[in-house]
Amino acid sequence: MTQAGVPQAPHATETSMTRERWLHLYRLMQRIRLFEEEVNELYLSARMPGLAHLYSGEEGVAVGVCGALRQDDYITSTHRGHGHCIAKGARVDLMYAELLGKEAGYCHGKGGSMHIADQETGNLGANAIVGGSAGIATGAAFSSQRLGLDRVAVCFFGDGALGQGLLYEVMNMASLWKLPVIYVCENNLYGEYTHYTETHAGSMSARAAAFDIPVEEVDGQDIRAVNAAAQRAVARARAGDGPTFLLCNTYRYYGHHVGDIQRAYYRSSEEEAHWRRDRDPLKIMAGWLVSEGVATTAELEKIDNEVAEEVRQGVAFALEAPYPDPSEVTEDVYV
Amino acid sequence: MSTSSLAPTTATGSGATREITLSQAIREALAEELRRDPTVFVIGEDVAEAGTPFKVLSGLVEEFGKSRIIDSPISEAGITGLGVGAAMTGMRPVVDIMFGDFLGIIMDQVANQAAKVHYMSGGKLKAPMVIRTTLGATRRSAAQHSQSLHAWVSHIPGLKVALPSTPYDAKGLLKSAIRDDNPVVIFEDKMMYTLKGPVPEGDYTIPFGVADVKRVGEDITLVATSSMVQVALAAAEQLQSLGISAEIIDPRTTFPLDKDALITSAIKTSRAIVLDEGYERYGVTAEFAAVISEGAFYHLDAPVKRMGAMDVPVPFSPALEDLTVPTPEKVTELAKTLCGRV
């Protein structure tokens, strides 16, 4: 069950990152990508119960933001949460076990894809209620401030969550009380099967600006842009200057969930091909690493192969892992 | 079952027992817990200088300051969600939801977030928080400020629900709620804030899931919660004059529920009426009646009868509103019928 060859994330407060750190972030992005491709395979081959909402295409956001965090910082995640979970440091074998409902999973199989939580890495949980974790993230920032813990809380949510009132209630309080929280809006253009322009009046960033929350809008496919903005937001939060709203423009490669295969009625295959070909966050990052001389193509391929092997072993582990004992069904309803 | 808390002869508090109001008992419990545990804080609308519209919290902000007695925006869902997150990360929030009717606004945070996080995370996370709110009609507050909706939260696995009916119970149950590692919703009857009763100074707690015999009797069991305990006590007096001895059982928490106390009393008396101010249909009374019917079936001389709030939105007009809740007279009439005295 070990994850060989995974370096500990170096401290993230430095603004000029080391080569080792860039390669670590590349590895995390590749881990998300390959993890999810295997999730899709598991679903399509009917080996995975339920369904999953894939994050593929958005890796630059999760890794860029979490790359600016410490392990003891908090995140809250969404139904499309595998990327956040991996970016914050979770292991793929235990994640696969959770997705397959196995005892070894992060939540002993009781949470599944939409509820993975990992206290060890500060992940307060994915949430199947759109916008449902906005209060939790803001409350985590509140306790960090009141307990003097110097921790930052990141609330990941999609463009769809901008339709939920709770988000505005807590953004108001976060601004009033200068809470160390970062609201990361991942605009992947679609809320389920509907383009955001059909559901959102006005400007997304103006929503946060109305609360006097600083807004940064970044290209979510460019991890360097995301990470730089996240570092500024983290610095602001730790300095006691309050929340930041990061609007990350990105794209969801797969459908709303793994079963959403016929998508022509809401978006074109040309659009999908364009993003995969021209706007892929892994290609963009790899291109930059090679052109800047940070890494060679051979070094990146080595990482790709290592991650592929890690994923292969993780799936094998999870498929063979036992289900929870029936007695587990009544465990942990109450503390 | 404990001994009667109306006149606690074995007070476990560290000080003398005085007569104080239910409102004062709540405030005393909060103050003691705020002093004891620095992670406890109160958040809600007008909880600080205003001390809530009911003045239950008056004086707390002067002792504990605005960082622990926190006036919030009018954002019930937001403060409840913030409370869940704070609870998950090391604090013990007491979220003040002014009227129980506002449960409708906070329900996702209560039922989908707070109640489930421990289970969904395989036991890794927990949300030790308290939601203090109110119930009860006859205050001329009309349909959106008068309901008793504790059945809603009693239905949800992961939540605990407390319903104090005396100042003594209010202090002890609230302290238990704050120390509990699970989310607890505690309902206070708005009409009982001025009710006086004996309360020990200093620390004591009342365990959840332990019913209290509010009156010992032989002929009929009246199971009553919160506001209905006073109704049952008044009915018992009327019944006494008719030669009918009523026993009153107050479960004090709807979850965990002291089923044994309900069943034991019903077996003893062979008759039971269950009283609760929630709407009668699909309500707490249905659960209590089912528990008694299943557990005491062969000992019952009459069907278990339910008395809850009338199944109508609470009307404003006093002439109508007073018809919607059980009264001592109605309880007495029904009890006489069950005892074959009509």
- % of chain B at pLDDT higher than 70: 96
What whole-number distance in Å separates Cα of residue B196 and Cα of residue B230? Answer: 12
Query: Residue A179: its pLDDT value, please?
Result: 98
What whole-number distance in Å separates Cα of residue A116 and Cα of residue B109? Answer: 18
What whole-number distance in Å separates Cα of residue A317 and Cα of residue A312? Answer: 9
Q: Chain A within 8 Å of B119 (Cβ-Cβ)?
A: yes
Query: Residue A26: its pLDDT value, please?
Result: 98
Q: Chain B within 8 Å of A111 (Cβ-Cβ)?
A: yes
Catalytic residues of B: 145
- Nearest-Cα distance to chain B for A94, in Å, is 13
- Name the residue with higher pLDDT: B237 or B5: B237
Which of B82, B108, B182 lies closest to A139 in CB terms?
B82
In three state form, how does the secondary structure of B2-52 look? ECCCCCCCCCCCCCCEEEEEHHHHHHHHHHHHHHHCCCEEEEECCCCCCCC
Contact criterion met (CB < 8 Å) for A173 and B86 = no
Contact criterion met (CB < 8 Å) for B91 and A146 = yes
Query: Residue B342: its pLDDT value, please?
Result: 73
A227-265 pLDDT, tens digit each: 999 999 999 999 999 999 999 999 999 999 999 999 999
Query: Residue B328: its pLDDT value, please?
Result: 98
Contact criterion met (CB < 8 Å) for A166 and B128 = no
Query: Residue B13: its pLDDT value, please?
Result: 67
Amino acid letter for position A208: A
Query: Residue B9: its pLDDT value, please?
Result: 43
Q: Are A138 and A60 in contact (CB under 8 A)?
A: no
Q: Chain B within 8 Å of A140 (Cβ-Cβ)?
A: yes
**Strands B253-255 and B160-162, how do they pair?**
antiparallel
How many alpha carbons lie under 13 Å from residue A236 in its C-beta half-sphere?
23
What whole-number distance in Å separates Cα of residue A101 and Cα of residue A321? Answer: 10
Query: Residue B254: its pLDDT value, please?
Result: 98
Q: Are B130 and B155 in contact (CB under 8 A)?
A: no
pTM of the model: 0.94
Query: Residue A6: its pLDDT value, please?
Result: 39
Query: Residue A17: its pLDDT value, please?
Result: 75
Q: For chain B, what is the mean pLDDT?
A: 95
Top residue of B92, B109, B124 to mutate, by most chain A CBs within 10 Å, is B124
Helix (H, G, I), strand (E, B) or coil at A96: helix
Below-50 pLDDT ranges, chain A: 1-15
Contact criterion met (CB < 8 Å) for A140 and B73 = no
B20: which strand partners? Answer: B197
Q: Chain A within 8 Å of B182 (Cβ-Cβ)?
A: yes
Give the tokens for residue B272.
């039971």
* Residue B281 pLDDT class (50, 70, 90 cuts): very high
Q: Chain A within 8 Å of B80 (Cβ-Cβ)?
A: yes
DSSP annotation of A267 reads S
Contact criterion met (CB < 8 Å) for B77 and A165 = yes
- In the predicted structure, residue B82 carries a pLDDT above the cut 70: yes
Query: Residue B12: its pLDDT value, please?
Result: 63
- Nearest-Cα distance to chain A for B79, in Å, is 8
- Nearest-Cα distance to chain A for B36, in Å, is 16
Chain B residues close to A132, C-beta within 8 Å: 108-109, 112-113
Considering only A3-7, B182-186, B302-306, B333-337, which range has the smallest mean pLDDT?
A3-7
Query: Residue A3: its pLDDT value, please?
Result: 42
